[in-house]
């Protein structure tokens, strides 16, 4: 059954791969699963019809028959469980991949999102200039630790996994901050993720929503709510 995901009708990042449907698109592309996309406006996301799918009124969601999921991490986990390509076969290696998924979303993403939110909505406050270096410091702290662990490896635990997929998308949220560039090994890690054909297909599909030129082969439905 072809799943349908939701994505921004008009993404604030102008379709540059930062909205979290990118994670889901990338995962689906990695495993070769075709998917449909229903685009939603900011207003529609807060309507009851969308909240029935996503209690917090956000994207992405994932519908597959009777199954409705929200939370990008849970959706990627579901895709990785149902298809080959995102989890290693070995049970312990798979458990470590899951650990990296949680680390990406629970340990690395929070300071990055906190910083990004501050730059968007706290700029006009008198204390912003004092707060930003504190937030930068929290991000750097995590990147110091992550780059130490990654070392010269290509991926976090041997082969590319759903853990890397989420970590790369999380680190990409630093685009424009200049911080990631301070970490050459992490920058190279993100570039490796971005160079994967599946990533590129997902990126092109997300960007096409913004430009209005969907690539061939995608079934992209207009917003219905």
Ligand X SMILES: N[C@@H](CCC(=O)N[C@@H](CS)C(=O)NCC(=O)O)C(=O)O
Q: Contact positions toward ligand X, by CB under 6 A?
A: 19-20, 45, 57-60, 71-73
At closest approach, how far in Å is the CB of 193 from ligand X?
A: 17
Q: Distance between CA atoms of 113 and 2, rounded to whole angstroms? A: 31
Ranked by CB distance to ligand X, the top (closest) residue is 58
Which residue's entry shows tokens 């996503």?
Answer: 54
Pick from 52, 6, 11: nearest CA to 25: 6
Beta carbon of residue 30, minimum distance to ligand X (angstroms, whole number): 18
Cβ at position 219, least distance to ligand X in Å: 21
Q: Which residues contact 89 (CB under 8 A, 6 or more apart)?
A: none
**Looking at the chain, how many residues does it have?**
225
To the nearest 10°, report the CA torsion of 121, 123, 127, 131.
80
Nearer to ligand X (CB atom), residue 54 or residue 201: 54
Q: Which element (helix H / strand E) includes 6?
A: strand 4-8
- Rounded distance between C-alpha atoms, residue 42 and residue 23, angstroms: 19
In the bound state with ligand X, the residue whose beta carbon lies nearer, of 60 and 193, is: 60
Cβ-based nearer residue to ligand X, 9 or 183: 9
Task: Identify which of residues 147 and 177 has a Cβ nearer to ligand X in the complex.
Answer: 177
Minimum CB separation of residue 147 from ligand X in Å reads 23
**What's the min distance (Å) between Cβ of 77 and ligand X?**
11
Interacting residues of 13 by C-beta distance below 8 A, sequence separation 6+ = 19
Nearer to ligand X, 20 or 25 (CB): 20
């Amino acid at each position: 059954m072809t799943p349908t995901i939701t994505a921004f009708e008009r993404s604030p990042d102008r379709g540059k791969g930062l909205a979290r449907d990118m994670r889901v698109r990338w995962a689906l592309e990695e495993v070769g699963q075709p998917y449909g996309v229903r685009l939603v406006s900011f207003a529609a996301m807060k309507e009851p019809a969308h909240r029935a799918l996503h209690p917090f009124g956000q994207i992405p969601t994932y519908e597959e028959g009777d199954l409705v999921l929200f939370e990008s991490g849970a959706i990627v986990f579901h895709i990785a469980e149902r298809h080959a390509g995102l989890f290693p076969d070995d049970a312990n290696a798979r458990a470590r991949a899951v650990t990296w998924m949680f680390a990406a979303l629970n340990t690395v993403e929070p300071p990055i999102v906190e910083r990004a939110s501050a730059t968007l909505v706290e700029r006009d406050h008198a204390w912003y200039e004092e707060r930003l270096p504190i937030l930068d410091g929290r991000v750097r702290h995590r990147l110091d630790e992550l780059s130490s662990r990654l070392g010269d490896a290509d991926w976090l635990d041997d082969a590319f996994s759903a853990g890397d997929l989420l970590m790369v998308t999380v680190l990409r949220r630093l685009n424009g901050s200049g911080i990631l560039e301070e970490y050459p090994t992490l920058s190279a890690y993100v570039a490796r993720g971005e160079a994967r054909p599946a990533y590129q297909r997902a990126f092109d599909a997300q960007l096409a929503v913004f430009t209005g030129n969907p690539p061939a082969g995608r079934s992209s439905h207009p917003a219905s709510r």
